[in-house]
Structure 1
Amino acid sequence: MPGTLYLIPNTLGDTEALSHVIPEHVQALTASLGYFVAENAKTARAFLKLVNTQHPLARPLQEIRIDELNVNTPAQALAALLEPLQAGQDAGLLSEAGVPAVADPGADLVRLAHQHGIPVRPLVGPSSLLLSVMASGLNGQSFAFNGYLPTDAAARAKRLKELEARSRQDKQTQLFIETPYRNAAMLDALLASCAGNTLICVATDISLPSESIRTQSSAQWKAQLAAGKTPDFHKKPTVFLLLAQ
């Protein structure tokens, strides 16, 4: 029988409070595994060291196999990552932050696992996208994640107009993210593109001590920035949400 592919959540950056965001049973299961597929091996080892402080690893860290799966992994290399599972070994799929296979290259491996009849078990943990929807006060009945928007200013403005129009038509919350050092540029683009009554949420450092989540209209954001009150989100992971009225 094949092994099970466990989808293991990582923290969203707070390495001091593992038990606050990763359930005990998830930590214990993680500690029992000897094979991981991770977006980044260095990050995965750091996470396993953190788990080891609460639940001793079943084998020394240097004996645990960690294969990488990231945006540069060719599609033809995925099958080899599943070979230990096809031989009966359990494995963990681990993202750099949050839950694997959501805004994460691990989704392709999960799909292939299903095709090969390998059981897939998602484990409970923090998702910045879901947590931001929960805390935004925007429509949680209908929402869509749009990943990264174009970096070109004109293309980005066009895309924001399209998302606002879709949000207005379908009453649907639109989510997207940005490279952290471009957060200010994204907020400026949002305010320049959206109507004054469109609601915008800026959710930064979710689940960390520095967490900040604020929802207000585009007009209110403009007034805040004009008063010199810029969100403290430079180089910090941030989720942007909008809901057109």
Structure 2
Amino acid sequence: MAPVPLGVALPEHTLTQAAGLTHWITENAKSTRAFLKRVGELHPLATPLQAQHIVELPREVHKKGDHGPGGFDAKPLLAPALRGHDVGLVSEAGMPAIADPGASVVRAAHALGLRVVPLVGPISLMLALAASGLSGQHFAFVGYLPQEPTERLKQLRALEATAMKTGQTQICIETPYRNEALLKALVQGLQPGTRLAVMVNATLPSAGVHSALVSQWRLSMPALPLSGPAVFLFGC
């Protein structure tokens, strides 16, 4: 399947800003170079791809996150910004620091007195929420649920109780190869009257979303391509 044109997912302003940068902080240098190659097909890059300065966040930041107190110190990565270079922060998908690493870089930029400018791009969590029919006025992203079935069910029921009591939509994600297991746990573990929504492959041609009461999910499971990125939402 051919990749979606960048102009479909990213606004022109974001693309031109990306083309003008020469310094990057990223999760993965290889995929960032592939992204910049595609940007360069639309807008000339400020410097050739081979000369782009790309620094990866440490592996432990990917695994453990970088948003808590006493976490990763990203100030050294922003040395080029202190020398006058604009520095881009890019994640593998979606938006940095939103269900992705990057918060430590943003905190460091504020601490150093640097200007922080978020650029518009697709955020799967918000796309899924908008398409779910669940409350977009009060919601929480709870990240990954426990893999162990008993602990997962315990947390699911606690989150569901919060949703029913407060009206707060609960949003979670999973590693693609465990999507089917999580969906099965949601359908089996949530109450019949709870609304469950799943969005898969946001912004891709194969994107799909299904939203229904759990009782309806139990009667008829939709054919969703769960092998890719998915967002799960539930509430009232």
Give the structure-2-normalised TM-score.
0.92
Are 2:77 and 1:84 aligned?
Answer: no
**2:9 corresponds to:** 21
The DSSP-based 3-state class of the residue aligned with 2:187 is: helix
Match of 1:99 among 95, 98, 101: 95
Give 4+ residue runs of structure 1 displaced > 4 Å after superposition.
73-77
2:231 is equivalent to residue 243 of structure 1: no
2:50 is aligned with what amino acid?
A: Q
| Structure 2 unmatched runs, 5+ | none
1:232 to 222, 225, 228: 225
How does 1:105-144 map onto structure 2 within 5 Å? 105-144=101-140
The amino acid across from 2:49 in the alignment is L
CA–CA separation in structure 2 for the residues paired with 1:99 and 1:34: 19
CA pair 222-70 structure 1, distance change in 2 beyond 3 A: farther
1:32 aligns with 2:28: no
Contact 2:72/2:104, CA 8 A, preserved across alignment: no
* CA-to-aligned-CA distance 1:159-207 (integer Å, 9 cap, x gap): 1001100101110100000010111110111112111010000100011
User: Residue 47 of structure 2: SS of its match in structure 1?
Assistant: coil
The one-letter amino acid of 1:27's match is L
Other structure's SS at 1:197 match:
coil
Relative to structure 1, the CA distance from residue 76 to residue 180 in structure 2 (aligned partners, 3 Å threshold; closer, same or farther) is closer
Does the 8 A contact of 1:224 with 1:230 survive in 2?
no
What is the alpha-carbon root mean square deviation over aligned residues? 1.6
Once the two structures are TM-superposed, the CA of residue 230 in structure 1 deviates from its matched residue by 4.2
Cα distance in 1 for residues equivalent to 2:43 and 2:196: 41
| Secondary structure of 1:82 counterpart | helix
Aligned to 1:69: 57
Q: Which residue of 1 is the match for residue 165 of structure 2? A: 169
Matched, 1:181 2:173: no
**One-letter identity of the residue aligned with 2:78:** L
What per-residue deviation string (whole Å, max 9, x for no partner) do you get for residues 16-61 of structure 1? 3110111111111111111000011111011001101100111110
Q: Structure 2: how far apart are the matches of 1:146 and 1:86?
A: 35
The one-letter amino acid paired with 2:48 is: P
For 1:174 and 1:165, the matched residues in 2 are separated by 10
**1:4 alignment counterpart:** none
Identical positions, percent:
45
Normalized against structure 1, the TM-score is what? 0.89
- Range 71-80 or range 183-192, more displaced: 71-80
Q: Which amino acid aligns with 2:19?
A: A
The match for 1:3 is none
Judge conservation of contact 2:31–2:92 (CA < 8 Å) in 1.
yes
- Cα distance in structure 2, aligned partners of 1:14 and 1:71: 30
Equivalenced residues, count? 228
Aligned equivalent of 2:215, options 219, 231, 234: 219
Identify which of structures 1 and 2 has the higher relative contact order when contacts are C-alpha pairs closer than 8 Å and 6+ apart: 1
Evaluate the alpha carbon distance shift between residue 70 and residue 169 of structure 1 in structure 2; reply closer, same or farther with a 3 A threshold. Answer: farther
- Closer, same or farther: CA 76–106 of 1 in aligned 2, 3 Å: closer
SS of equivalent residue, structure 2 residue 117: strand
Q: Distance in 2 between matches of 1:130 and 1:71?
A: 26
